[in-house]
Amino acid sequence: MVRRVRSESSRRAQVLAAPRPLSAEVPQADKLANIRQLAAAVGDGIHHPAALLELLDVDQRHFAYYRQAAVILGILRVRDDRSLALTDRGRRLTAAPEASSAERQVFRRAIAEAEALKPFRACFDAPNVDARKLARQVQRLTGLASSTAARRAQTLVKWREYIHSPDLAPSRPDLPELSARLERLIARHNALAKQRTLEWLLHVDPSRFEAILGELARAIGYREVIVRGGPNDGGIDVQAIRVDRWGHRAKVAIQAKRYQRPVGRRIIDEMIGVLSRERLGEAIIVTTSEFSKRAESAARGEPRVRLVNGVQLVDLLAEHGVVVRYAARGELVPVSAPPTSGHEDEAEPEAEAQV
């Protein structure tokens, strides 16, 4: 009896001595496979935010969860400029075959050594785990709401299930699962290709970028496309006519924003002014970056304004074979010949072959 009391007291002392995690340090990222995919993307040099969101098929909030989880596990580190870099553990992870015992071993070691997860060590060591009891422990240590604590506990349970999944003797030859690996490889290739295409677009001559948008507008089906551009373009880089199925004509304006930073609300407000001044039926703002939340909110208030971010722009270019295209397996490749636009000064530069 005395030994049991001492053992219980010792266990409680260890729990109390363990550092109390901050709420942000308890992960909410159920899929360890996504953490591996993020690590592989960073290793490939992919850093464009929208490209990473598309690759993981998550929104900004959930991407932040996976980013934080990868940092907690020591798979990624955050540089001084806030960009991500692979750690030695991250390189070991991406070198291990996917869904293999070697991969699980890397994750198992990462979880065991993660400082923020020390209070939950029993969750990963015990033969069984009570999810509701674990959720109460998370809530007690972090002060999170019960529903949020339950979601964080669910992540820990999912991780536990994965790292302890058995290596079963195969009933048939253990061949590599090629189709899923190809899909992930092509997805990472496309994310990197989109990033490089956007970097190329950032460095082409401004008139060339506007000409590309004009060519895209023609390929989509807009009529009477005119590339205006220049310092006195009145906020319209490309103008065109949209004709609906009933033959109704509407004047359309396209504004190009070659930004690396998010496009802010001021640009949207100015374009709404152009809508009235030019009597437009539609205004499209195209950027190589993203739009701020306030900009997106302002655009939602005016149904005639459409926003196209960098990744969406590359998708449109590829869909219509302008600069890049989708090949047989769905991978992005440069077009084999420059798009025909009728302007001699729009020949593709040699740099395009590097996109």
- Per residue in 216-253, pLDDT (tens digit) is 999 999 999 999 877 666 778 999 999 988 889 999 99
The yes-or-no verdict on residue 166 having pLDDT over 60 is yes
For residue 112, give the DSSP letter: H
For residue 122, how many other CB atoms are within 10 A of its CB?
A: 13
Whole-model pTM above 0.75? no
Task: Using a pLDDT cut of 90, give the percent of the chain over it.
Answer: 63
Spell out the domains of the chain, with CATH numbers in brackets.
Answer: 2-163 (no CATH), 190-354 (3.40.1350.10)
Mean pLDDT of the chain: 85
Average pLDDT over residues 117-139: 89
Confidence (pLDDT) at 313: 96
pLDDT band at 340 (very low <50, low <70, confident <90, very high): very low
pLDDT score recorded for residue 12:
46
pLDDT of residue 60: 87
Quote the pLDDT of residue 167: 65
287 CB neighbour count, 10 Å cutoff: 24
Report the C-alpha gap between 243 and 354 in whole angstroms. Answer: 37
Task: Report residue 264 as tokens.
Answer: 């802010």
**pLDDT tens digit string along 305-337?**
999 999 999 999 999 999 999 998 999 999 975
CB neighbour class for 211 (10 Å; exposed up to 12, middle 13-18, buried from 19): buried
pLDDT band of 174, cuts 50, 70, 90: low
Phi first, then psi: what are they for 55, rounded to 5°? Answer: -60, -45
Mean pLDDT across 3-31: 60
- Mapped onto helix, strand or coil, the DSSP state of residue 22 is coil
Pairing of strands 76-78, 332-334: unpaired
Share of the chain above pLDDT 70, in %: 83
pLDDT at residue number 233: 66
Over 60: is that where the pLDDT of 193 sits?
yes
pLDDT at 267 over 70: yes
Quick check: 135 and 153 in contact, CB under 8 A? yes
